[in-house]
Structure 1
């Protein structure tokens, strides 16, 4: 009886398969343990280029270019208050939740406590100090005084700056809309009805210029 597959032949084939597997596995392991290509390694080993230490910054604030020296990590709020003596913007929560630090950057409301000063270079920054024209108050400032839109006054600068932008954005056409778009500015004294009255009056008169 003719047997095409003998035990010896099967054993040899099995040994050959095992040897082939071991060789392939060894090759893969060697490839995995081999050092990476030089360029790849150097790319990851190269030190990152970062700014460190104080550097010169130029901020255009209320229409005037102001130069200061500060570290890249300094916030816009601290740069305004500590370096440029513009203390109208207040530091409330320092987490972007209360709105006391609100300023305008290129006409848009931002929380200065969450914005790095270096990010505001080349942009137009407006603080509460820049709203009045000399002794002539901005219509929003006048409205806040008329409607007694403050008590302790700590949040007032941020409220006024935010209100100016709110009206210019067209987001003060109704009481509910105004409340929604001013909700990022908190008044811990609870002067909201008076603030709302001031903002709505300016919106109705179309006097949010500046």
Structure 2
């Protein structure tokens, strides 16, 4: 077998035909059919192939949350997801949250509470916050959920619940108190 020449992004001209697949991703309500290298992440697909730069590449290891998007309504670190494994998935990025020129309620709450500073982590924080709201509404408990809480129905989102559920999203500026307040505003 002859070695292949690969460029910096791993998409060299010597690639074997079996290293790429054609897939369809529904991004913010629009179907996109793409042919991608099997190693391409959802984050790189969004940023490099579709020009959607809201999700940020922070750590590229799933530890900071800057790349958080919603996949079929659930939050996920897009830097850890291979695009080929998401064929047919519905992916919502921060760019797809506003509807009819109106911001999502959590986006509005972030602005009202001044829940950002540099803004780098904000798209991931907002997508994760929307995921938190959905998880709590669906009754998914967290480590902070009291063991005596009912096992059916929504989980009440107090500050401790929100902090626990958002712990995978880091903010280098330390805007955490305002982020918790913004999510709490929308939860109530």
TM range (shorter): 0.7 to 0.9
Unmatched tracts of structure 1, length 5 or more: 1-49, 205-210
How many residue pairs match? The answer is: 155
Alignment-derived partner of residue 145 in structure 2? none
* Candidates 53, 64, 67, aligned match of 2:33: 67
SS at match of 2:19: coil
Whole-Å Cα distance in 2 between the matches of residues 51 and 180 of structure 1?
45
Matched, 1:103 2:69: yes
Question: Quick check: 1:54–1:69 contact (8 Å CA) kept in 2?
Answer: yes
Q: Is the 8 A contact 2:129 2:166 kept in 1?
A: yes
Q: Does residue 95 of structure 2 align to residue 129 of structure 1?
A: yes
- 1:191 corresponds to which residue? 175
The residue matched to 1:190 in structure 2 has which SS?
coil
* Residue 159 (structure 2) aligns with: 175
Tell me if 1:56 matches 2:40.
no
SS across alignment from 1:89:
coil
Question: In the alignment, which residue of structure 1 is the partner of 2:3?
Answer: none
Q: CA deviation at 1:119?
A: 1.0
Match of 1:91 among 34, 42, 57: 57
Q: Which runs of 5+ in 2 are unaligned?
A: 1-15, 137-154
Q: Which has the higher contact order (CA 8 A, sep 6+)?
A: 2
Aligned-CA RMSD value: 1.5
Take 2:75 and 2:101, find their aligned partners in 1: how far apart are those partners?
A: 24
**Larger radius of gyration between Structure 1 and Structure 2:** 1
Structure with greater proportional helix content: 1
Q: Which runs of 4+ in 1 moved over 4 A?
A: none
- TM-score, normalization: structure 2? 0.79
